[in-house]
Homo-oligomer: A and B are copies of this chain.
Amino acid sequence: MCELLGMSANVPTDICFSFSGLIKRGGETGIHKDGWGIAFYEGKGFRAFHDPVASANSEVAKFIQQYSIKSTQVICHIRKANRGRVCLENTHPFSRELWGQIWSFAHNGQLKGIKKKVLNGYTPIGTTDSEYAFCWILGQLRKKYPVKPKSKVKLRKTVEELFRKVSQHGVFNVLMSDVDHLYTFCNTKLYWLTRQTPFVEAQLLDADLCVDFNQEASPDDVVTVIATEPLTSNEQWTKMETNEFSVFRLGVKTFTQVS
């Protein structure tokens, strides 16, 4: 199984603290040593960093840890390969353009029979079931909406429907992002936490590192962090329900549905 980390914030925020905890699990405090990746949204722009080596030993990860990239949405993934060999093209998050926006996707779980689904316009580069599912989801979105739907509710409902269809194929814990929204689905395990005033000092579980967000954040900042397992020892993480679909925007959970 892999580990996921996501962030949604109302102001461009760096993820160095949470990332510092997560990468330790990529070969040091955890077994997820088969590559890692991180994707940042900066305005309409998008950049991603991938490395097919253990994050705990990755030079790219060390760089990302030190270099503060401020972003309103982040998706990160450390991989324990089960389907698809260890290589760059099988390293999450995957990304594709739809309606002039970059969509990105990271997944934890295995999906049986997903590759029998017919694709529409998006083709996987690697061999993972995860990338295949992502390509199928985007293809279905494009088929239903050749141009971006004006109604955010319609779009959200379609994404939820597609996530629920994919989740019938196995374990599907997922983070998917367009420029504005972080769509999440919890099939077995996903936790979340919102940091806002009054801020506290947070202590990482996987590294001897704490940050006093009173010093780091401004009073109006709202930052939600989503992860496979809690990353800090002294904050109250909420476990998502089984089959919970939730949407985050600007740090706030804007929709949730369990079924």
Chain A residues engaging chain B, CB cutoff 8 angstroms: 42-50, 52, 59-60, 63, 67, 87-89, 91, 96-97, 99-102, 121-126
Contact = CB atoms under 8 A, between A and B. Distances in A.
A47 B87 CA distance: 12
A123 B142 CA distance: 12
A50 B102 CA distance: 15
Given A45-B89, A46-B88, A47-B49, A124 B100 contact: yes
A102 B88 contact: no
Contacts of A87: 43-45
Nearest to A121: B121
Contact of A44 (B46, B101, B125): B125
A43 B50 CA distance: 14
Query: Which of A63, A89, A91 has the most CB atoms of chain B within a 10 A radius of its CB?
Result: A89
Contacts of A99: 123
Contacts of A52: 45
A97 B123 contact: yes
A-B CB proximity, top 6 nearest: A45-B88, A100-B123, A45-B89, A44-B89, A63-B63, A47-B50
Contacts of A96: 97
Contact of A88 (B43, B97, B125): B43
Contacts of A123: 97, 99-100
Given A45-B125, A46-B88, A99-B123, 5 more contacts: A42-B88, A45-B89, A45-B91, A97-B123, A121-B121
Contacts of A47: 48-50, 88
B125 A46 contact: yes
A45 B125 CA distance: 8
16 contacts: A42-B88, A43-B87, A44-B87, A44-B125, A44-B126, A45-B89, A46-B125, A47-B48, A47-B50, A49-B49, A59-B67, A60-B63, A60-B67, A63-B63, A96-B97, A121-B121
A2 to B, nearest CB: 18
A102 B121 contact: no
Contacts of A122: 97
Given A60-B67, A67-B59, A89 B46 contact: yes
Nearest to A69: B60
A126 B97 CA distance: 12
A45 B97 CA distance: 17
